[in-house]
Amino acid sequence: MAENNIHWHQALISRSDRELRHGHKSVILWFTGLSGAGKSTLAHAIERRLFEKHCATFVFDGDNVRHGLCSDLGFTQGDREENIRRVGEMAKLFTEAGVIAITAFISPFSADRERVRSLVATNDFIEIYCRCTIDVCEQRDVKGLYAKARQGLIPNFTGISSPYEIPQNPELTVDTGKLSLDECVEQVLAYLKLQRVIVY
Ligand SMILES: Nc1ncnc2c1ncn2[C@@H]1O[C@H](COP(=O)(O)OS(=O)(=O)O)[C@@H](OP(=O)(O)O)[C@H]1O
Ligand SMILES: Nc1ncnc2c1ncn2[C@@H]1O[C@H](COP(=O)(O)OP(=O)(O)O)[C@@H](O)[C@H]1O
User: Predicted ipTM?
Assistant: 0.98
What range defines the domain where residue 126 resides? Answer: 12-18+28-137+165-188
pTM over 0.90: yes
Which residues contact ligand 2 via a Cβ below 6 A? 33, 35-42, 104, 140, 142, 176, 179-181, 184
Q: In what order do the strands lie in the sheet with 100-104?
A: 57-61, 100-104, 28-32, 125-130, 172-174
Query: CA 78 to CA 37: how far, in whole Å?
Result: 23
Residue 198 lies in a domain: no
Kindly report, residue by residue over 162-200, the tens digit of the pLDDT: 999 999 999 999 999 999 999 999 999 999 999 999 988
Q: Is 106 in the pocket of ligand 1 (CB under 6 A)?
A: yes
Q: Is residue 147 part of a domain?
A: no
Q: Give the domain CATH number at 98.
A: 3.40.50.300
Q: Identify the band that residue 109 occupies on the pLDDT scale cut at 50, 70 and 90.
A: very high
Per residue in 111-144, pLDDT (tens digit) is 999 999 999 999 999 999 999 999 999 999 999 9
Q: Atom 5, ligand 2: which residue's CA is nearest?
A: 38
Number of domains into which the chain is organized: 1
DSSP string, the chain: -HHHHHHHHHHPPPHHHHHHHHTS---EEEEE-STTSSHHHHHHHHHHHHHHTT--EEEEEHHHHTTTTTTT--SSHHHHHHHHHHHHHHHHHHHHTT-EEEEE-----HHHHHHHHTTS-TTSEEEEEE---HHHHHHH-TTSHHHHHHTT-STT-BTTTB-----SS-SEEE-TTTS-HHHHHHHHHHHHHHTTSS--
Would residue 122 count as lying in a domain? Answer: yes
State the catalytic residues. 107
In-domain check, residue 169? yes
Mean pLDDT for the stretch of residues 2-18: 72
Residue at 60 is within a domain: yes
